[in-house]
Amino acid sequence: MKNKMFDLTNKIALVTGGADGIGLAISKKLSEQGAVVHILDINQEKGEASTIEIVADGGNCHFWTCDVSDQKQVLSIVNKIYDQNGSIDILINNAGIAHIGTAEDTKEHDFDQIMKINVKGVYNCVFACIPYMKKQKKGCIVNMASAATVVGLPNRFAYSASKGAITTMTYSIARDFVQDNIRCNCLSPGRVHTPFVDGYLAKYYPGQESEMFEKLSNTQPIGRMGKPLEIANLVLYLCSDEASFMTGSNYPIDGGFVTLNT
Ligand SMILES: NC(=O)c1ccc[n+]([C@@H]2O[C@H](COP(=O)([O-])OP(=O)(O)OC[C@H]3O[C@@H](n4cnc5c(N)ncnc54)[C@H](O)[C@@H]3O)[C@@H](O)[C@H]2O)c1
């Protein structure tokens, strides 16, 4: 008999930052399981190319150019998606940017930018989707936090602050809407090899990229960085009916980074 676990047939799923990296792996995974995936991403070129790739593989995927930090844009897109589909079942708040710096050398503009995208972006998307989830008396939200929320990583002042906010926003959303049958969880990945990592190595360690890549890989006791698909598999589980008893939690997925590094 066919295994029907993790079936998302016809579920309407929004994936922010789904054009690349972890978000792209999530978009592919959810569409493989039958979801109708809507990618919301600021990178139009990459977003359209990724959407074409998913559709060519048999997925039902749509792309929306969207800056998650702009509430007007988010509301307008989410309203259109609801009007066209009649439900919003899954919201994956994955869009995020990196920043390297201590409290001493983080510039005001960079701090504001991190908060605008990583924190306000999540608020904007839940603000837009929750009324529909309440109306339909069901919904699932998965937020992308980071291992940086539980350990003091060097030089990650603003980034860690933004991801700490994600975990507490997750608990708050889960608490406030538990009676509406809306589940909300977050993930705390260790380092995952994506353009995000390549981008900050190029920006902050020019000329030392491969040395730093090796160093970062070895900080995971498992001896490597994670793969986007490994993160997508946990996201799929959390938004499937198999995870129906799971809400208000932060799930580490980090190759032993937090608990095995002594
Ligand atoms: N890669 C890692 O090691 C790692 C570890 C822990 C947590 N995370 C988190 O996982 C998430 C995804 O990371 P990734 O490594 O796949 O990053 P990535 O840079 O490879 O992809 C991020 C995507 O978000 C999009 N994006 C950026 N700003 C946006 C905005 N304002 N509006 C809409 N879309 C926007 C980008 O265009 C891109 O497609 C981020 O929230 C990141 O903080 C990553």
Task: Please write the tens of the pLDDT for every residue from 120-167.
Answer: 999 999 999 999 999 999 999 999 999 999 999 999 999 999 999 999
Mark whether 154 and 85 lie in a shared domain: yes
Mark whether 171 and 212 lie in a shared domain: no
Confidence of residue 196 (pLDDT cuts 50, 70, 90): confident
Mark whether 133 and 212 lie in a shared domain: no
Mark whether 72 and 172 lie in a shared domain: yes
DSSP H helical segments within the chain, as ranges?
A: 21-32, 44-56, 71-85, 108-114, 121-136, 157-176, 195-204, 209-218, 228-239
Mark whether 221 and 244 lie in a shared domain: no
Mark whether 198 and 177 lie in a shared domain: no
> Mutate which of 41, 113, 124, 196 to test ligand 1's pocket (most atoms within 8 Å of Cβ)?
196
Residue 19, SS3 per DSSP: coil
pTM above 0.95, yes or no: yes
Question: Is 171 tagged catalytic?
Answer: no
pLDDT digits (tens, 9 = 90+) for 19-70: 999 999 999 999 999 999 999 999 999 999 999 999 999 999 999 999 999 9
Tell me the CA–centroid distance for residue 2 and ligand 1, in Å. Answer: 34
CATH number at residue 58: 3.40.50.720
Ligand 1, atom 37: closest residue by C-alpha: 43
Residue 261: what pLDDT? 85
pLDDT digits (tens, 9 = 90+) for 197-252: 898 899 889 999 999 999 999 999 999 999 999 999 999 999 999 999 999 999 99
Report the chain's terminal Cα–Cα distance, integer Å: 46
Mark whether 37 and 102 lie in a shared domain: yes
Mark whether 47 and 68 lie in a shared domain: yes
Residue 241, SS3 per DSSP: helix
Mark whether 79 and 135 lie in a shared domain: yes
Kindly tell me the number of DSSP H helices and DSSP E strands found in the chain.
9, 7
Domain range for 221: 192-225
